[in-house]
Structure 1
Amino acid sequence: MAALAAVKGTVFVVRNWKEITVGVVFAFILMAGLLLGMNTSEQQPIENINSPFGAADVPPNIAQWRGLVSEYTSKYGIAEYTDFLLALMYQELGNSQTLDIMQSSESAGLPPNSIQDPVMSVNFGVKHFKSVLQQGQKDEVDFATIVQSYNFGTGYINFVASNGGKHSVDLARKFSLNEASKQEWVCSDWRAPYCYGDYTYVQKVMKNLMPLDIAVGGRNYSPMGEQAFKAIISEAQKYVGWPYMWAGANPGTGFDCSGFTQWTFAKAGIKLPRTAQGQFEVSSKIPPAEAKPGDFIFYTGTYETDNYITHVGIYMGNGKMFDSNGSGIGMHDIDSPYWKSHLVGFGRVAD
């Protein structure tokens, strides 16, 4: 019987050799694709990898914590990072049921998941992120380095600062390998031999943050055009976290509100008056329903002066403005009670 089965098997192979060959090749290609797919997160470019600004693309189990995260980002003076931290939370938490929703236990010097109070987790997590952010800004590394350091620890900031100041997957691998060697860590998963942390952490976090919709012709397009808008915002992002500086109008002095708009708009070839009042006077007034990213948003009564207009910001859509105010340079919520109480309206300038 065994001999007969062997003969039948041989006949089957001979008669169907083409189909079998195609099947084997297809299986090989499929396996190769799966293996390559394991590391696509480090190969796929993320357009907004160095920008903390956007809308968190997260499921309901993460979005439910927005109010709590917003409370503590406001408490620690980094309200503009709320959506980014929700994107980070999704990477940290996934679909886990733990109440350490920002995985803050280890940052607090405790064993993993020791914290089982969401309020405590967010408090520690936001506070820890702010300390990482401040060190990164002090050492003048890019934002991607700051993100990766939430996973690696702040030693990565020092490492990148001494190696050009910009994060890359290659630098993350080198750092991981060095740290794993120091601690004699080994692993057999996809990270091997880079067994310290996750060297693809930046890409995994930033894919959860949708960039602001600035495409010309899109739902939320900028009337000044995509190229001009990007030039302005790319320049503005260089100064996120800088303190407000009265009468400042350039990077050497720092920026007040109108100095910030004057400097950034100049990068798109748009010349503006020096004061918020002057910028109000040269802009075309538009109703709130027609405001688009790149328009101005004007305020009154934010400090004592004879001028009617006392503050100006760059409207970004989605209830946000990019400006320099008492809490520093960054994205701020125009729907907060303070800003609502001082709002005058919106304006637009032509290039």
Structure 2
Amino acid sequence: MYGKAVLLGARYWRYVVGAALLCLLPLFLLWSMVPAPSPAVPNSAGVSVDIWRWEPILREMVKREGLNEEHVAVLLAIIMQESGGTAADVMQSSESAGLPPGAITDPAASIRQGVAHWKNVWNIAKGLGITDLGTIVQAYNYGPGWLYYMKDNGGIGTEDLRKSFSRQHTNRTSCGWRSPYCYGDYTYAVKVMSFFQTLQGTASNDALYRQVMAEALKYKGWPYQWGGETPNTSFDCSGLLKWSFAAAGISLPRTAQEQYRYTRRINESELRPGDLVFFTGTSDHAFISHVGLYVGNGQMYNSNSSGVGYSDLRSAAWRSKIYGYGRVWAGGKQ
């Protein structure tokens, strides 16, 4: 019996395999319609996502010190260099307050002192007529004395001058890779400016978000309209975003599913205001069936059956249907 079964199997194997493939074909077709999440893309140039959690308090401290928003990106770059956003003394600002290294254990206090220290070196640089940003950044590490040294040496901190200043301010000659330049880090400005160049692209996205929200808020309280994509009709979810991004010069595709494919995949931990949040299962018209604009603090701005306005992403009704997150940069598609 076993031998006969084997012979029959060998004779009819083509039909068996063919039938199996026919059974599986609908499953393959269905799966091909589901947009698989792309791998999350980390921030470029090694900039850690951990620094972004400090951005709100950093902006607050910058404003409190009377500095303009242009300082935020360079201070975020300093945080990246000092701690990667993970240490308690997140700006490593204890020494600038006359304390031992790491003495500040509250991140908010560290940022407050770090911004005050930055303002001090910034104002000294202005008073001395020093305008080179890298030279001023180096003063965050070396202290204000570096700026007076630079005033007497041309105003732009070359590597040779950074090494010379370091040699003059230490009695040590052995400190690992920095030897014999053991005071501070003579490569500090180069590292911070590298992060700063990356973060400038992010700053342009902050401006994009403000433009998009300025347009979207005009329609707060308007009714939801299936298929709506202009103020003449009101809006559905993707129509509201397409219209609002167009006001900022960005052309998004029309549907939520198309907008999902258009944007760069990010993790939830990377979410920033201006990112898009995508949902599945909110209706049966498409796999990606809803989209909203992330505005921070667990909230999104969107058009849903309740109308145009804010929704809490932490509520069970929304959170259970989140499919993924996407980012549109000011330069267009990523």
Larger gyration radius, structure 1 or structure 2: 2
Q: Please report the TM-score for the alignment, with normalisation by the length of structure 1.
A: 0.43
Q: Please report the TM-score for the alignment, with normalisation by the length of structure 2.
A: 0.45
